[in-house]
Amino acid sequence: MKRIRFEWYAWGALAYTLAVIVWGAYVRATGSGAGCGRQWPSCQGEILPRPEALETLIEFTHRVTSGLAWFLALGLLVWALRAFPKGHPVRFGAGLSLFFMTTESLVGAGLVLFEMVADNVSIARAWWMSLHLINTFLLIAALTLTAWWASGGPPVRLKGQGAVGVALGLGLLGTLILGASGAVTALGDTLFPANNLVEGIRQDFSPTAHLFIRLRLFHPLIAVSVGVYLILTASLVSYLRPTPAVRRFAKLLTVLFLVQLGAGLLNLLLLAPVWMQLVHLLLADLVWIALVLLAAAALSQDALPAVPTPAPASPHAGTGGATWRDYMALTKPRVISLLLFTTLTAMIIAAGGWPGTGLFLAVALGGYMAAGAANAINMVIDRDIDGRMARTAHRPTVTHRIPSNHALLFAFALTVGSFLILWLAANLLTAALALAGLLFYVLVYTIYLKRRFWNNIVVGGAAGAFPPLVGWAAVTGELSLFAWYLFTIIFFWTPVHFWALALLIKEDYARVGVPMLPVVHGERMTVLQIALYAVLTALISIMPLLLGEVGWFYLSMAALLNLVLLVRSLELYRHPDRPHAVSLYKYSMLYLALLFLAMAVDRALWL
């Protein structure tokens, strides 16, 4: 009974602390931080001031409620020491809660004593605000874990977690960085409000604007990037550690982050009113709580998969002894080559010539790493069906030359490396687009569509259309209508290319139960769909001439390439056999490469 009461007390302390945090944001948003002057813990030189000004009342109320939160944390620790035995995680969580509650008070005191409140626009204030936010998140994490463990949640085990531990650790770190950027952005909105959206955007891009204003540009991109990563991580963790608690918190995290992104957009459109800033902060806190609970559930002893008894390996089993070639095979180099080619030619198309050797090489490396990470994750997820398909039976995840945990660690290392390279060498938009393409391929196509719908490649194939967007953004820092046109070409070309391959290996797909078009609706429907998409691809490929973006060189090359594409599609329709499917499959790759090359040459010579 005492432990049940403690459980309610712990969750209540967390809820009360969230309310205090939101009230603290109200103090900052209304500029009331200097309401007590430069005194702490006294207010206007008194312990119990007479609040003649509204700012004094607001700031003093915040100090009182914060003090009560500290005593609640103290009571949490005392009660935990009395109610739980030595070594119980609740004791550890309660101790951390009191520690971070104390540092929270000290950071708040420092902001007042050093006058980093109200209208202070120093860079030092931004650092203090970021530190304040990080400490707040750590406090929330400690309170959340205390309540979770008091409710019967199993203790966390950090050792031996492999890729899951690394992925969640990076997610927690990324969310802290996102929170810090959000704190600086909110500070900029408070100190430099805009009268309308157009004026605010003009301020953001002005080279003479204050640093706080210019930093506002980064927060949305960081939010999307971290959101993409968190959703990907939640899905993978839910797949690898499919306990009810993990799945519940993974869904909760995904939903909350999507709601948070919508709130962020609304906050931007409404010019960050005070009430919307408070909602945005509360949602950020809830996202953090969901992530902490997901990590606690996934990293617990209960979620660890059972270790099977190893069977004796035969000399030809191919287990262990992975080489760099095996890790290279995880990235599917031959598949990536065409995607990377469209990325690099899109850079030349965007620049109207050579985009610069350094940028070109950096995007090539970063783009390869992002696509390679997606392919490695795909191999881990599909290893159950890959082992029963002749085309994929020798993949390193199937032969166990590379364990799944090692493959995922490799994939996450590629993901982080790609993001950093593209961000530093190009811009944050480029890095975010590469990460979004990875997410789309893994979550939308591999996990959701591939094993459920016959038209999986129509929607899921959009992942392969992201590379031109990456190349374009790397050069221009934005996405124009023409960049999306390049995306559209690959989107409509993909079914022609992939369904030709599917005809060749339809028996494999039927054996493992993957509902590809030839398996579900037969060869006749497949070749008809290929012909229709070939016509659409041909029509879309000549649209740049109508837009005035390309010249006659591209038009002549596109006409020739499309003529061959249509002829081979028609031949496959008339003779749906293996030789004609092979012919169209091979030509489709050459078609896309030459089409993008022709456009790059045309733009470089005549733009």
Residues β-bridged to residue 46: 43
- The reply to whether 579 falls in a domain is no
Listed range (27-41, 152-166, 214-228, 281-295) with the worst mean pLDDT: 27-41
Residue bearing the bigger pLDDT, 274 or 477: 477
**Are residues 58 and 191 located together in one domain of the fold?**
no
* pLDDT tens sequence across 125-171: 778 888 888 999 999 999 999 999 999 999 988 877 777 888 898 88
Residues 211 and 88 in one domain: no
Contact 341, 471 (CB under 8 A): no
User: Same domain for 146 and 195?
Assistant: no
Task: Kindly state whether residue 323 falls inside one of the protein's structural domains.
Answer: no
pLDDT tens digits, residue range 366-411? 999 999 999 999 898 888 888 888 878 888 888 888 888 888 889 9
229 and 89 share a domain? no
The answer as to whether 108 is a domain residue is: yes
Confidence of residue 46 (pLDDT cuts 50, 70, 90): low
Residue 105 and residue 13 share a domain: yes
In a domain, 10, yes or no: yes
454, pLDDT greater than 70: yes
308 contacts: CB under 8 Å, gap ≥ 6: none
Tell which of 278, 304, 330 closes a domain: 304
In a domain, residue 525? The reply is: no
3-class SS at 46?
strand
* Together in a domain, 84 and 197: no
Q: Are 239 and 289 within one domain?
A: yes
Number of domains in the chain: 2
pTM of the entire predicted model: 0.70
What local confidence, expressed as pLDDT, does residue 100 receive?
94
Domain boundaries, position 271: 162-304
Give yes or no: residues 106 and 19 share one domain.
Answer: yes
Same domain, 244 and 133: no
Q: Is residue 63 part of a domain?
A: yes
Calculate helix-pair angle for 466-476, 404-425, nearest 10 degrees. 30
Residues 169 and 147 in one domain: no
Residue where one domain finishes, among candidates 123, 153, 183:
153
- Of 242, 272, 304, the one marking the end of a domain is 304
Is the sign of the CA dihedral 241, 247, 249, 254 positive or negative?
Answer: positive
Q: What is the per-residue pLDDT across 245-297, written as a single tens digit (0 to 9) for each?
A: 999 999 999 999 999 988 888 877 777 788 888 898 899 999 999 999 999 99
CA distance linking residue 496 with residue 533, whole number of Å: 6
One domain for residues 132 and 203: no
Residue 195 covered by a domain: yes
Q: What is the mean pLDDT of residues 422-436?
A: 92
Do 19 and 138 share a structural domain? yes
In a domain, 211, yes or no: yes
In b/e form, how buried is each residue of 113-141, taking b as 16+ CB within 10 angstroms? eeebbeebeeeebbebbbbbbbbbbbbbb
